[in-house]
């Protein structure tokens, strides 16, 4: 049932009861004094099914996504097999603590699960995707709790609801009074955050309506370039022309945007290293007076002459110059870089089709409408600590650029975008998300989607993510005909 909670955004509340069967099995095993190993196996089975269901989109990845297409099938099973170790460890730890301390699983399970989830999100293999708190990302009232304690607090809340529901439904209580008390607690724990979240949203809208400050309109360019064209190396000029035409149209809109954003590795080229392309982008920024922020592949050499390749992003200021550059800090393990190379450099010689980027080292603040903004490239948006670090350094808006074409039209699109939206709530800043094929979003500081574009359609989404719906002036420019013309070339 926990896997099903991630298959559709509207099914998120299923997570609030998904652990009940697991808790019942663990309790039965505890009463029979079965070995802790038994709890580990139970948790592993639970986790394997959960991740296998939730991550089914790995088996549906576009063949453009990986060098060896058939690897996606064993990768799907391998990922579920590995990630299932964490629920297994949580179940074993909860059972062990319960027996040693004398406390009920109702107390030890949430604590153990939260500790293990923090472990799962850490390090080079860190993968916080599918933390239970993310299941409710589509419920604006409920996710306001993230402003107090991040997605960890949301996960703790989901676990609390499961424990209360389990105690309300269990047949092992001595009297029905305790079950009634647990049921009342469940309803209170569900309804109180809902009511408080509504008040928080109302207060946020009231403050925005009274404030004369605005972040300024941002134009997000979703060019919808197919991967087989983008990475072929044969359509570089056509791809760039598509972005330039979309951006030129956006720059002439009213209200005029103060920043144009292109997605991750937008043109599929070393944009700032290819002089003709860099000049064309810089000229458009200078002619329109609107800075262009974009993702691109980049490279440089260190003092020893060793080349380093970056999944980068940078800005072309309105004065026609080249601005600051940011390099992605947290790379996708096995997809963008073999993990643990800093300790075992030989791992970099293993060829699984990975890009082998070099990780960046620090956040970069760019000058933008309404103050400085920082960049989260694709996968980075699922790590709360990166966004938190950016805001602590002074970012007043988060720009998430990504290329999610690999996911096709699977639920992974909404899963990925939903996690990014939580970063806005946690840090009280708006977030704009620009994707090559979607989902392209404007998200306010309360995590509400203020504008979006249909997936796999070319267009531009423009608006101010810091404004209320009444203040916002979102405009979408449908240039599907131009995209079809590119695809026919």
Q: What is the pLDDT of residue 240?
A: 96
Active site residue 405: no
Most confident of 219-223, 225-229, 344-348: 219-223
Task: Determine phi and psi for 477, rounding to 5 degrees.
Answer: -110, 110
Catalytic entry in 27, 328, 375, 426: 328
3-state secondary structure of 86: helix
Q: What is the pLDDT of residue 352?
A: 58
Q: What is the pLDDT of residues 93-105, one digit of tens each?
A: 999 999 999 898 9
Cis peptide bond upstream of 400, omega within 30? no
Residue 270 has pLDDT above 90, yes or no: yes
Instruction: Tell how strand 459-463 and strand 449-452 pair up.
Output: unpaired
Catalytic entry in 91, 378, 405, 475: 378
Q: What is the pLDDT of residues 322-380, one digit of tens each?
A: 889 999 998 888 767 667 667 666 666 666 555 678 888 899 999 988 889 999 999 89
- Tell me the mean pLDDT in the region 9-20: 94
pLDDT: is 413 or 31 the higher one? 413
Catalytic entry in 27, 117, 264, 405: 264
Residue 414 has pLDDT above 90, yes or no: yes
Question: Band of the pLDDT at 258, cuts 50, 70, 90?
Answer: very high
3-state secondary structure of 352: coil
Residue 477 has pLDDT above 70, yes or no: no
Provide the b/e sequence for 189-220 (b: ≥16 CB within 10 Å): bbeebeeebeebbeebbeebeeeeebbbbbbb
DSSP string, 424-465: HHHHTS-EEEEESSS--EEE-TTS-EEEE--TT--EEEEE-T
Residue 471 has pLDDT above 50, yes or no: no
Residue 84 has pLDDT above 90, yes or no: yes
Q: What is the pLDDT of residues 109-142, one digit of tens each?
A: 999 999 999 999 988 888 999 999 999 999 999 9
CA distance linking residue 52 with residue 76, whole number of Å: 7
Residue 182 has pLDDT above 80, yes or no: yes
pLDDT: is 487 or 206 the higher one? 206
Contact 250, 466 (CB under 8 A): no
CA distance linking residue 130 with residue 419, whole number of Å: 9
Q: What is the pLDDT of residue 94?
A: 95
Contact 311, 327 (CB under 8 A): yes
Which ranges constitute the DSSP H helices of 212-274?
227-230, 236-251
CA distance linking residue 486 with residue 489, whole number of Å: 5
Q: What is the pLDDT of residue 472?
A: 46
- Tell me the mean pLDDT in the region 210-229: 82
Cα–Cα–Cα angle for 20, 25, 29, rounded to 5 degrees: 145
Q: What is the pLDDT of residue 59?
A: 87
Q: What is the pLDDT of residue 89?
A: 97
Active site residue 72: no
Cis peptide bond upstream of 168, omega within 30? no
Active site residue 230: no
């Amino acid at each position: 049932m926990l896997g099903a909670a991630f298959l559709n955004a509207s099914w998120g509340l299923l997570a609030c009861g998904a652990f009940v069967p697991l808790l019942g099995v663990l309790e039965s095993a505890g009463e029979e004094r079965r070995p802790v190993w038994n709890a580990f196996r139970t948790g592993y089975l639970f986790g394997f099914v959960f991740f296998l269901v939730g991550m089914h989109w790995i088996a549906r990845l576009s063949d453009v996504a990986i060098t060896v297409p058939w690897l996606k099938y064993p990768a799907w099973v391998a990922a579920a097999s590995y990630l299932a170790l964490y629920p297994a460890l949580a179940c074993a730890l909860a059972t062990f603590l319960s027996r040693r301390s004398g406390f009920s699983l109702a107390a030890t399970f949430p604590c153990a699960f939260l500790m293990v989830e923090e472990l799962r999100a850490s390090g080079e293999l860190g993968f916080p995707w599918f933390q239970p708190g993310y299941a409710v990302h589509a419920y604006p009232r409920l996710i306001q709790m993230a402003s107090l304690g991040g997605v960890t607090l949301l996960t703790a809340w989901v676990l609390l609801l499961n424990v209360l529901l389990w105690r309300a439904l269990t047949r092992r209580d001595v009297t029905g009074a305790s079950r009634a008390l647990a049921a009342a607690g469940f309803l209170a724990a569900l309804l109180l955050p809902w009511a408080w979240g509504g008040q928080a949203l109302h207060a946020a809208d009231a403050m925005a309506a009274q404030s004369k400050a605005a972040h300024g309109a941002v134009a997000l360019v979703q060019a919808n370039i197919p991967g087989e064209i983008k990475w072929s190396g044969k359509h570089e000029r056509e791809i760039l022309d598509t972005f330039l035409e979309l951006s030129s149209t956006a720059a002439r809109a009213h209200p005029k945007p103060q920043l144009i954003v292109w997605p991750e590795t937008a043109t599929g080229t070393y944009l700032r290293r290819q002089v003709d392309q860099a000049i064309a982008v810089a000229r458009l920024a200078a002619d329109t007076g609107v800075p262009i922020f974009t993702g691109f592949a980049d490279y440089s050499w260190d003092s020893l002459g060793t080349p380093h390749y970056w999944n980068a992003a940078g800005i072309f200021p309105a004065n026609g110059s080249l601005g600051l550059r940011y390099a992605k800090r947290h790379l996708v393990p096995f997809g963008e870089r073999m993990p643990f190379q800093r300790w075992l450099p030989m791992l970099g010689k293993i060829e699984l089709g990975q890009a082998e980027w070099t990780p960046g080292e620090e956040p970069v603040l760019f000058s933008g409408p309404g103050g400085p903004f920082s960049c989260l490239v694709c996968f980075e948006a699922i790590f709360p600590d990166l966004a938190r670090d950016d805001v602590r350094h002074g970012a007043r808006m988060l720009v998430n650029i990504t290329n999610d074409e690999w996911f096709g039209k699977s639920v992974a699109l909404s899963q990925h975008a939903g996690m990014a939206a939580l970063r806005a709530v946690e840090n009280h800043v708006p977030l704009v998300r620009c994707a090559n094929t979607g989902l392209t979003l404007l998200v306010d500081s309360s995590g509400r989607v203020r504008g979006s574009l249909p997936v796999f359609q070319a267009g531009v989404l423009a608006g101010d993510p810091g404004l209320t719906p009444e203040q916002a002036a979102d405009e979408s420019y449908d240039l599907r005909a131009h995209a079809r013309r590119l695809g026919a070339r």
